[in-house]
Amino acid sequence: MVRALFLDRDGVVNVDYGYVGSVADVTFCDGIFELVKTAYDNDIKIFIITNQSGIGRGFYSEKDFLEVMGYILGIFQDFGCPVVDYRWCPHLPSELCACRKPQPSMVLELAKIYNLNLVKSALIGDSVPDIQCGIRAGIRYNFLLSRDAQGKRKSNEPVFPQKYDGIKTLMKEKRWKEFLLDCILEGNR
């Protein structure tokens, strides 16, 4: 079975300015390419899962979203760490759909399609629902970023046992190294 790294988009891959709906609004988070390249070089497949209620709110269209994703995927490809696939939820939180994080359906759908070993996989998010999604899906390594990409501490988050002050800090942490070592020692099976 294949190992995976699931990334939330806004706040992990790119700076979350609140409803990023055009390529002009995309600024990549510091350290994201180094992190993803490290994972990719260790035979870990990269996926993006993202709640995009800006579509449901009418702030931007699904076409706009797909254009932004095409741009992001192209940049990752240029850095030598291609994203295998992605999923998104366009619904409002009030719609209580099955695809919106913290529900695990985006992860489970990708796991089924790509034969992913979720117990040997990781998820990086910037919100508690991201982490709840990972836990509900059975992902062993879940990492919560507690600062936004501009280095400001998020004040509206409940206390969570393991938070990291950004991608570069996470890459120095024992659990991230444990995840990579686990992948290297056991191979990607």
Which residue among 8, 16, 126, 130 is the active-site one?
8
Q: Count H helices and E strands in the chain, helices first.
A: 7, 6
Three-state secondary structure readout of 77-109:
HHCCCCEEEEEEECCCHHHCCCCCCCCCHHHHH
Buried b (16+ CB within 10 A) or exposed e, 6-25: bbbbbbbbbbbeeebbeeee
Can 8 be counted among the known catalytic residues?
A: yes
Pairing of strands 122-125, 141-145: parallel
Given strand 163-164, what is the order of strands in its sheet? 83-89, 45-51, 4-7, 122-125, 141-145, 163-164
Which residue among 10, 16, 126, 130 is the active-site one?
10
Beta strand ranges found along the chain (DSSP E): 4-7, 45-51, 83-89, 122-125, 141-145, 163-164
Can 10 be counted among the known catalytic residues?
A: yes
Question: Would you please indicate which residues are annotated as catalytic (active-site) residues?
Answer: 8, 10
